[in-house]
A and B are shown apart, each in its own frame.
Chain A
Amino acid sequence: MDDGLLALPDPNATQPAAQQHLLKLSLVCFVLSEYNEVWRDSRGQSPSPPRFLDQSSGCVCVSAAGDLEEVLESAERHEEEERGKEKGQERRRDKKRKRKPQRTTSQPGEATSEETAESEARRGRRKRGREGGGRGREGERQEDEEEQGQRGKGAKNKKNFNNERRRKRAQGEQEGGGDAPRRQTHGRGQSDERKEETKRGGVKRPTGPAEKKKRKKEVENSSQQESSEEEEEEEGGEEEVKPETLSPEELEKLKEAVDDRKKLIHTLRGKPWSMKKKLTSLGESQKFVEKFEGALGKGKGRKLYAYKVLMNKKWMKFRRDFENFKTACIPWEMKIKEIESHFGSSVASYFIFLRWMYGINLILFGLTFGLVMVPEALMGRPYGSMPRKTVPRSEEASAMDFAILWDFGGYAQYSVLFYGFYNSQRTIGWLKFRMPLSYFLVGVGTVAYSYMVVIRTMARNANEEGGGDDNNFNFSWKVFTSWDYLIGNTETADNKFASITTSFKEAILEEQESRKDDNIHLTRFLRVLANFLVLCCLAGSGYLIYYVVRRSQKFALDGLESHSWWERNEVNMVMSLLGMFCPMLFDVISALENYHPRIALQWQLGRIFALFLGNLYTFIIALMDEINLKREEEEVVKQNMTLWEAGLLNESRPENSTAPPFSVHPADTPRGPCWETMVGQEFVRLIISDTMTTYITLLIGDFLRAVLVRFLNHCWCWDLEAGFPSYSEFDVSGNVLGLIFNQGMIWMGAFYAPCLPALNVMRLHVSMYLQCWAVMCCNAPQERVFKASRSNNFYMAMLLVILFLSTLPAIYTVVSIPPSFDCGPFSGKNRMYDVIQETLDSDFPPWFSKGFSYVSNPGLVLPFILLMVLAIYYLQSTSKTYKQANLELKKKLQTQNEENKKKNKKAALKAAMELEEARKGPRHTSRTSPPRSIHAGVGTPEHPGGLGGTWGTLKTSSKGRDKGEDHGRGQRANQGKGGQQAPSLRDSGGRVPGISPPAPRSHTHQTPGHMPGNPRQPAPRLHRVSSSQGHRE
């Protein structure tokens, strides 16, 4: 009322303010309505709140007759305090709750003679603000009402009240520190009072912070549950609970409550509260759970339940420890975090990728090492026992030379590291290990595993990215999310400031330009030109490699010894040089295109990718040529072999015809060239040279440069650090590409050189340390700091492409080229995959192989493939439809939002106008329509009071922070509990003169929902709607 009177002298309050207040009013109304509902649900009987309400409004009228001056003064004070009231409603409610019990028990006469000192003070203040005139009567009346209400409710209720009171009192004392917001009560005005009374009309609210929180958490839960909670509370109030005395329903409810608490415990960490609050609520919930968990279940069941609970606890603890252990086990976590905090997330993303790669390679290594290399080394025939396992006589002299070993010749070539060493015996050792089969399956498994992992990661990334496709929030994202909080380095931060500023400026320019867009033709032309140039580069490099490879083949035919070092290593060198200089060229060219940095980066990556791929494939084609050469050679050797054997036989027979015909040392036997080992060797050499190039460029390009810049700086004529050479940046994209290609070569070569995964693991391990060190000690933070999250799947996609492209040649060689006749696990077979058929024939029962042959019949395979294609098509089309449906829904939502906006604006405007009207002539209208107010005897001053109440609530809550709580409440309000539309609202708005006759009580239940067809809109709008509707009603 105070505020109502305040509002009266100043009817020219601005409209927005009115809107805001209305908005808050609806919120208050909602709170009230909910209390009512809760009460009704829990009691299962017709509520009396409306009666209280009416009563209270009557009191309002009475008290409105109070001293105007005093009221005005307090209103002013109230204005001052408004700022302090922002704490939101939650606290207020809490407070009210605390105040409730003392009222319920106090006798009419002794309004302030009770309870704690703190409550006395509060009440005193309130009294001062209101001026006693109406107070006495009001109080009396309320108490009377209450007495009646309680009597009606019966003994149990009373007991509960007492319980609650006891608890609340304890709590009040505990929190007695007299926090500031308590002062709010004073001067908040009549509406608050009324609210209180409404609530007091029988609604029992659970107390304590835990309940409060629970309430918040379950904003959208049905009131059913709330009521059950209260039931629990009552029981909680009685010191001991005897589970035997509980009825099944009560037990059920108890269980529910316990489950709720448990849920709360689990979700507590996701709440934006201070730790203290969390701690107390955790403690309370835990206590509650502990106390009542035992009460659940009976007899044996109870024991079982307790046991289950115990185990659950243990399990939780174990899981948490396990989580801790897991994070402790992640390798290099601290290193990466350190880099992350210095250089931002993009550089760190490279290292995370590297670690991921390392993990995959570790598994590949485990497969090949455990299932191929170790069995062969342990159980296979030893070195020197057969020609394929022996260094030939001609090479024996140099087989231990480091240069030869470095090239993986000599002893290295005739070892488990390469394909040629393996024997074609079907089983080896006492374990009867099926070596050839294992070799084949490991090869297949390596590829299959890689596919699986890459695709799974891609899918997960895609999931995480989710609906990041709409670019409606370009500017907002730039402002809200562009800072990388991980940056802990001043220099990086400066760079980041600069880059953010540029991005702002660019975005603004872009926005302006997109409105103009005249230069489009020039940019288009430039882009076409740039792409043309890049294509020229690619074609040129492809031709260069092809030319070099052909030349080297010529050299190889001539014999390597007659050529210089350069001529022998031409291919590798040319490839490395191209890999170094072409990207720079591309970088220069891409300046022409004028793309956004992120897009430019992707183009750049794509081009380098194409270059590498071209190089790799030229290399493979050259290898194929070489394979064909070797196979021709093999044919010749094969024929010579038979001749040689025949010769040997002829030689030996005359001398000794009985003994084992000949015993030639395996080193002396002629042998085929074994193209598989050659391929493996090539790949290993490539990997080694690639690794070396990477390390050396790292050392020279980064370390040496940094050292020079650092130490020559003070004796140089210009500033080296800021000027030309400066420190190098960490090139994320280049490094990632290098890693991807390296992996591609591993996949390609692993079948012919089982040592490749092991080598790669070593390489990655060293890289990790070397690069971490290099980044931390000699790289400057990037100037163009961009975030990596978007690029992740781009990298993954490239990895997938590489995987596919690298398995192609490997599969081709396995399927279409017959293996060498005298080396490797598949020697003597027509094709490598024959090993499967062989196993089927000899190791499985005949019916199985028969079945298999039926299944692998083209007549079955083809339809199956067809089916799969159809399934893929179907899935794709459904996903397309879903996408479309999504889009349409989005559109619908948008249009609906806009419509709502319009509606809301209109409604708010209308409501504001009505308010204005009401303010202009409250006395006049109320005089003209006295009989309209149902509450006889409380006529005239009602309106000021009513309105004042509205304003009071509005004001106090208008500043309520729109934090989680308020938001949640808004949603609750949204739930179509419109039926309980705020009695106080009707008191204020509903009785706006000449709008409607006071509705019967039941009318409240029919109040239409807030927004037909749009039950879930953001909170703010909703407040406005509901309040305006209330006013229109």
Chain B
Amino acid sequence: MGTTASQLRKDVLSEYQELTFLTKQEILLAHKRFGELLLKEERNHSNSRVPMDKILTLPELKSNPFRKRICQVFSTSDVKDGSLTFEDFLDLLSAFSDSATLEIKSHYAFRIFDFDDDGTLDGGDLEKLVNCLTGETDDTRLTPEEMRQLINNILEESDIDKDGTVNLSEFQHVISRSPDFVSSFKIVL
């Protein structure tokens, strides 16, 4: 940062405060961190994009198994490359902030888990999700048999209308009863 041109304007800042769950300090910090990801000449542009690879170097996202999905979900890029503008970045932080509501958190969680973007969590999505959670190494992977059973169990619990997939409302129904979700679905810069 440093240059005055890359400073956030006051009215913009207050608008961001109005539209996100972030406080002023958090927005400024986010701006600073985002500025560090940008190239020097890009900093003066208000809506320059940071490619996904660079976003993923943030320590807050580095070890998150869903990092790519998170970028893709919050990206408004036309080519779906997961690149983020500053506003997308703020959206991300807002959804993952302390004070975001359960509703918005669960909404984004659903979209993150919906790997093929088809609006429901089907068997394939769940399998990918479980694989993300168990890590890349082979010794932590579940066997196909275990995976099958796990997915069956999940669908048995959450798939209320028994159509073989979990849709958003079912997902939110499940999530809203979980005691841990709101406290763990957080990313703090």
Contact = CB atoms under 8 A, between A and B. Distances in A.
A508 B135 contact: no
A488 B65 CA distance: 11
B120 interface: yes
A967 B169 contact: yes
A468 B178 contact: yes
B142 interface: yes
B142 A468 contact: no
Given A492-B63, A961-B119, A484 B184 contact: yes
B21 A269 contact: yes
B73 to A, nearest CB: 10
B119 A1020 contact: no
B113 A480 contact: yes
Contact of B146 (A337, A480, A505, A1020): A505
Nearest to B145: A508
A493 B88 CA distance: 25
Listed residue (A274, A278, A337, A481) with the most chain B CB atoms within 10 angstroms of its CB = A481
Contact of B133 (A265, A479, A904): A479
A961 B110 CA distance: 12
A270 B95 CA distance: 9
Main secondary structure of the interface of A (DSSP, over half): helix
Nearest to A269: B19
A483 interface: yes
A910 B185 CA distance: 43
A474 interface: yes
A485 interface: yes
A169 interface: no
A470 B173 CA distance: 12
B68 interface: no
Contact of A504 (B95, B146, B181): B146
In terms of DSSP, what is the predominant structure of the interface of chain B?
A: helix
B65 A275 contact: no
Interface string B139-176: 01110001001100110011011110001111101110
Contacts of B50: none
A483 B101 contact: no
A472 interface: yes
Contact of A473 (B118, B149, B174): B174
Nearest to A484: B184
Contact of B181 (A265, A480, A511, A1019): A480
A897 B173 CA distance: 14
B187 interface: yes
Contact of A505 (B119, B142, B160, B184): B142
A328 B60 CA distance: 21
A465 interface: yes
A967 B124 CA distance: 23
Most buried by B among A327, A490, A1021: A327
How many residues of B sit at the interface, in one of the four size bands? 35 or more
Contact of B169 (A483, A790, A962): A962
A474 B157 CA distance: 8
A394 interface: no
A483 B19 contact: no
Interface stretch (A495-503, A706-714, A772-780, A934-942): A495-503
B18 A268 contact: yes
Interface in B80-110: 87-88, 90-91, 94-96, 100-101, 103-104, 107-109
A789 interface: yes
Given A488-B59, A790-B180, A483 B65 contact: yes
Contact of A341 (B60, B95, B169): B60
Contacts of B183: 345, 787-789
B80 to A, nearest CB: 13
Contact of B130 (A467, A479, A487, A511): A479
Interface string A816-842: 000000000000000000000000000
Nearest to B143: A505
B181 A962 contact: no
Nearest to A316: B18
Contacts of B187: 485-486
Contact of B167 (A320, A479, A959, A1020): A1020
A328 B137 CA distance: 42
Contacts of A482: 133, 180
A487 B88 contact: no
A967 B167 CA distance: 10
Nearest to A338: B188
Contacts of A86: 119
A847 interface: no
A340 interface: yes
A323 B24 CA distance: 9
A480 B171 contact: yes
Given A275-B90, A276-B76, A1019 B18 contact: no
A345 B14 CA distance: 30
Interface string B9-20: 000001101111
Given A486-B184, A497-B135, 7 more contacts: A269-B19, A272-B108, A282-B18, A476-B154, A479-B150, A490-B63, A967-B169
20 contacts: A268-B18, A270-B101, A272-B108, A275-B91, A279-B19, A320-B17, A321-B24, A341-B59, A474-B157, A480-B175, A483-B66, A485-B64, A489-B63, A498-B135, A500-B133, A504-B150, A508-B146, A787-B180, A901-B160, A1020-B163
